[in-house]
Amino acid sequence: MKFSSVFDIIGPVMIGPSSSHTAGAARIGRVARDLFGKQPTWAKIHLYGSFAETYKGHGTDVAIIGGLLDYETYDERIKTSFDEAEKVGLTFEFIPETGASEHPNTARIILGDEEGNEMSMCGISIGGGAIEITELNGFRLRMSGGMPAILVVHNDRAGVVAHVAVCLASHQINIGHMEVSRKERGTMALMVIEVDQNLHEDILNELERLPNITQVSRIKNS
């Protein structure tokens, strides 16, 4: 097995007790916040498998809320994230589920705000603090959450992927991984692009101006 950094072997710097149940959970929460684009005002967190069984004892609950507050895995405030959430007006509910899931450490996070915006995301903690995002608003995908990424919602039309790739190439942005998901042919699609560096806001705005693009979101690599 090839490791890209020492942290792939020893795991991330984190608040304990478990890299899978704490660090991974915090990262799932933080990616959800990134994709939502701002601080949500409410969250419903559905937990599956071992997450559902041990989330209180292993700190999965405080870790996810810490991630939703934009805390890193090593941030001491994770321990008091429930109190910090109250300060910023974030209400939340944890819902342990008994049904089957694709992975033992699975969380489905539904976020919203007072303006009526809402987002649903499913993430899994695969060990050592690493995660995968497997679904966003009903679109199936595979995203590590460990690299800067762009998520492009677009009309399912010929040439859209090429236009996005050309735009990124013109700014010397290298694509590490890319996939396209759609719910139904000819309607809406989601492009997930993991890149080698964080993107400047101007590039995101340029992507949004391309034909058939309806929304562009990003995940930064801190």
The pTM assigned to this predicted structure is: 0.79
Same domain, residue pair 36 and 117: yes
Q: Looking at the 3D structure of the chain, how many domains does it have? A: 2
Q: Provide the CATH number for the domain around residue 194.
A: 3.30.70.260
Clarify whether residues 131 and 190 are in a common domain.
no
Please check whether residues 113 and 35 belong to one and the same domain: yes
Vertex 166: Cα angle to 160 and 171 (nearest 5): 135
Regarding whether 182 and 92 lie in a shared domain, the answer is: no
Of 94, 90, 116, 117, the closest CA to residue 107 belongs to 94
Pairwise CA distance, residues 204 & 189, whole Å:
18
Q: pLDDT per residue over 11-27, tens digit each?
A: 344 454 455 568 889 99
User: Both 126 and 154 in a single domain?
Assistant: no
Same domain, 16 and 114: yes
Is the pLDDT at 71 greater than 80, yes or no? Answer: yes
Residues 6+ apart with CB under 8 A from 217: 34, 35, 37, 150, 151
CA atoms within 13 A on the CB side of 202: 2
CA distances for 158 relative to 52, 211, 215, angstroms:
42, 11, 17
Residue 76 DSSP one-character state? G
Structural contact between residues 26 and 74, judged by C-beta atoms closer than 8 angstroms: no
pLDDT digits (tens, 9 = 90+) for 170-217: 999 999 989 898 888 888 999 999 999 888 899 999 999 999 999 898
Give percent of the chain above pLDDT 90. Answer: 54
Mean per-residue pLDDT for 81-95?
Answer: 96
Average pLDDT, the chain: 86
Q: Which domain holds residue 87?
A: 11-137
